[in-house]
Structure 1
């Protein structure tokens, strides 16, 4: 019987939350992990437990040169890269109008370009061996729009699009990619996002951003998503050749996604005639505008 070799993982954002749950599961499975985190001191307990199978690596995923070094370090330590989990990210809750351009860009840099940077770093190694899995931890926020999370969700929508495009480019090379889209999980994400909100939401946004912020704060600690179960799922996905482009995780995520999809399909049907009409040879003038649905 052929013995299965341990996989080598790179996991970003591995010190806390879902990233740490995936890291722990991979190590307990006997695999090797380059665990990337801003503060690797938080990995000291796991390093003491698992020794040489864990390679902590200090990383800010917005640093493109450093992400390249992470991939090289994984090869140096373990000789291969089998799985990349792009997990690093954060969300700060604030009305778009109140969010500074600097803060908006910083969230996009981490949540989108962190994924881009790390993926670019590992692709040459995966391409060479004609195999690999890239699991992008996005969010159901990449399929819906939530008032107060413009920067975070803009980046997560982009991660979903990036995932779909890259799948088309590398599937024939044996590289499998999926966008994981969980809802609320029992991590510190909701606390961090909610506590990052400014003390004052502009009165004009009280019914939208303010109401959503109240729901997020009330949900913190009561999320239905189990990081340990998601981590076990990630281990299983890293063994499969058949992966979907998007995988929504959690009953709360499914409810949000299904409602958003229903609205999109309804809008599509309502505006279908005008969508079809804007081609050469189509109706013009009043005949064109007459196809608009009632206002």
Structure 2
């Protein structure tokens, strides 16, 4: 069955690979990016079933316009993929209020406001699937990525709440947790205006790892991501959380084990009662 998609962040990387795969499969796709000209190649390759639209998820009017475009063109929306995001580098003390607000405005508030604009369509249809592209950083804290990690932790909490609130309306929710992908992520990192030398021993190593990510032989390809999302959309009961990439297991298992160990230690010691 052909599905109708609205996908954000399609100018490059994961979003571009996904939009191309969906169009190749014959799906109906509204592919979006902040700058419309970055979508020209995609639109030219798939003129019949892919529509390009300008969308800055920080702009409420553009969010509503993108939803209206999808409904007008294809008659509805079956799957929304909240993919648009960027990484703000910097430790907790280095990131300013303005930098923190900008990070959340795109990574959390943008997904929230666009999903909120789609929900009336899904309530009318009594069906829909919200896909939130998080990260392993949505469960694993990384030094030097305090703002990015916080935005992804928050995104996952918002998505879980949506699943609890809208499931009875036929709305499915999936949180994708990609590991390292060859997307040029490091070239889009925003550096903080302030750098503090005391944090260099923990943050510089992380920055170097991010900048060298595309050179790793084991790095995941955007096409893998696109294939996973395509297969996910065909599932009758998709999972709430789905790690994506060969490198995710070690990171996420370590995070789960550490939290369970800390929980057991606190409970067995009786600290939760404050007696």
- Category of TM-score, reference length = shorter chain: over 0.9
Per the alignment, residue 206 of structure 1 pairs with: 200
Task: Structure 1: state its 5+ residue gaps.
Answer: 279-287, 289-295
1:128 is aligned, of 124, 129, 135, to 124
TM-score, reference length from structure 2: 0.94
TM-score, reference length from structure 1: 0.88
Rate the CA distance shift 1:200–1:174 in 2: closer, same or farther, 3 A: closer
Cα distance, 1:254 vs. partner?
1.8
Which one has the largest radius of gyration? 1
Misfit runs of 4+, over 3 Å: 196-201
1:244 is aligned, of 235, 239, 252, to 239
CA RMSD of aligned residues (A): 1.7
Task: Structure 2: state its 5+ residue gaps.
Answer: none
Q: Which moved more, 1:127-136 or 1:219-228?
A: 219-228
CA–CA distance in 2 between the matches of 1:227 and 1:98? Answer: 31
Per the alignment, residue 150 of structure 1 pairs with: 146
Rate the CA distance shift 1:7–1:207 in 2: closer, same or farther, 3 A: same
2:225–2:245: 8 Å Cα contact kept in structure 1?
Answer: no
1:105–1:151: 8 Å Cα contact kept in structure 2?
Answer: no
Give the secondary-structure state (helix, strand or coil) at the position aligned to 1:20: helix
CA–CA distance in 2 between the matches of 1:250 and 1:110? Answer: 24
Are 1:8 and 2:29 matched, yes or no? Answer: no
CA–CA distance in 2 between the matches of 1:211 and 1:42? Answer: 32
CA–CA distance in 1 between the matches of 2:201 and 2:258? Answer: 20
CA–CA distance in 2 between the matches of 1:198 and 1:66? Answer: 28
1:262 is aligned, of 252, 257, 263, to 257
Cα distance, 1:242 vs. partner?
1.2
Cα distance, 1:275 vs. partner?
4.4
The Cα offsets for residues 229-260 of structure 1, whole Å up to 9 and x where unpaired, read as 11011111112231222111223222111112
Per the alignment, residue 227 of structure 2 pairs with: 232
Per the alignment, residue 51 of structure 2 pairs with: 55
Per the alignment, residue 159 of structure 1 pairs with: 155
